[in-house]
Chains A and B, each alone.
Chain A
């Protein structure tokens, strides 16, 4: 990367893959919200105020089945609870920031820009909170514009929404793969998958996601602690091979 690049361009380059991925997802979301009866202004408003692909897809699909408002808000509450975990895990990089910064940062944080920022903070010692904020605002811009365009073309096009919904899934798969550092992480992934199915079917709400995430991550933590203390040479602690040769996921900054 060139040294004399202006900051806005450096950040834009970082956020570009996410921005491009947001276009198909945002378009789909706009189409879906339009089908649910949202006008263009409300679609713009929800993209800025809620700014969460999963949440907006959920609201749209709940509205099309005429679910009552209280049910939708309750579902939202459980769906959005997971952000508590995201915020907590980013907080160590945002120490010493002022209250207005934290407020605005939290307002525009979502799964995707969180993943971009977590990756940058973990791998780039010079990554600043102000740049992380800019990542959020760029992604918000991509998201809102895509949503509005999706809403505008809404009725004109017929799109299979379950297919476009997969864009979000592909994004999450990519992020999970990028976070896979040791063999233990693969074990945690598998555990998380099994627990997710179990708790979602059991609890019949997205709260199952929160429970599965908590249990799987805690298990990973305790296994790692046990292995580091008793079996430091365990195969589970081996690093996962990176075919591109980047050591991008090494968390040097913590050592």
Chain B
């Protein structure tokens, strides 16, 4: 990861500005729209399922999909086991810090020490 990008700091600055704009638009306008208008009941009922679907999607992406958008067939067993451990810890303890710390420790053991 030591290959230095060909872009200058000024390029990086504009990149940050554009990314900030692109990040701001979907955060702002839906929020504005629905705080000003009455939200239909069905929409609330639907939105209840959004966070859980999204978080599952993000987890599945990082555990099973590689950077070229292909299914990882090897090298992710340590992550799968660690993910299960984190799930059990989160369910039993309901502690965010404990879940993250144990997750990190377990993935270090599996990936760095056991190489699975």
Residues in A lying within 8 Å of B, measured CB to CB: 16-18, 20-21, 24, 32, 35-39, 42, 45-46, 49-52, 54-55, 59, 61, 63-64, 66, 69, 72-73, 76-77, 80-92, 94-97, 99, 102-103, 105-107, 109, 111, 114-115, 118, 160-180, 185, 188-189, 191-193, 195-197, 200-201, 203-206, 208-209, 212-213, 216-218, 220-221, 224-225, 242-244, 246, 248, 251, 254
- Which listed residue (B25, B82, B87) contacts A166, Cβ 8 A? B82
Contact A87 B60 (CB under 8 A): no
Contacts of A167 in B (CB 8 A): 100, 103-104
Main secondary structure of the interface of A (DSSP, over half): helix
For B31, B39, B43, B67, which residue has the most chain A Cβ atoms within 10 angstroms?
B31
Tally of chain B residues near chain A (CB < 8 A)? 83
Contacts of B114 in A (CB 8 A): none
A85 to B52, CA, bound (A): 12
| Secondary structure type dominating chain B contacts | helix
* CB–CB A82/B54 < 8 A: yes
In the complex, which residues of chain A have a beta carbon less than 8 angstroms from the beta carbon of B7? 37, 63, 69
Whether B55 lies near A166 (C-beta < 8 A) is: no
Q: Report yes or no: A37 in contact with B4, Cβ–Cβ below 8 A.
A: yes
- Please, which residues of chain B bring their CB within 8 A of the CB of A42? 9, 12-13, 16
Nearest A residue to B76 via CB reads A162
Where the two chains meet, the residues of B that have a C-beta atom closer than 8 Å to any C-beta of A are 1-7, 9, 11-20, 22-35, 39, 42-65, 67, 69-71, 79, 82-83, 86-87, 90-97, 99-100, 102-104, 107-108, 111-112
Contact yes or no, B62 A165, CB < 8 A: yes
Whether B23 contacts A69 by the Cβ 8 Å rule is no
Instruction: Collect the chain A residues with CB atoms within 8 Å of residue B49's CB.
Output: 185, 188, 216-218, 220-221, 224
Chain A residue with Cβ nearest B103: A170
Cβ of A99: which chain B residues have Cβ within 8 Å of it? 32
11 contacts between A and B (CB under 8 A): A24-B104, A46-B19, A46-B20, A80-B27, A91-B34, A166-B103, A166-B107, A169-B79, A188-B56, A224-B45, A251-B48
Least CB distance from B25 to A in Å reads 8
Judge whether A49 and B52 touch: CB under 8 Å.
Answer: no
Residues of B within 8 A of A193 (CB): 56-57, 59-60
Residue in B closest to A78 when the chains form the complex, CB atoms:
B22
Q: Output the nearest chain B residue to A217 by Cβ-Cβ distance.
A: B49
Contact present for A118 and B56 (CB under 8 Å): no
Closest residue to A56 on the B side, CB-wise?
A: B19
CB distance from B69 to the nearest CB of A (A): 4
A18: chain B residues within 8 A (beta carbon): 96
A106 to B6, CA, bound (A): 33
- Contact in complex: A213, B57 (CB < 8 Å): yes
| Neighbouring B residues of A106 by C-beta, 8 Å | 24, 27-28, 31-32
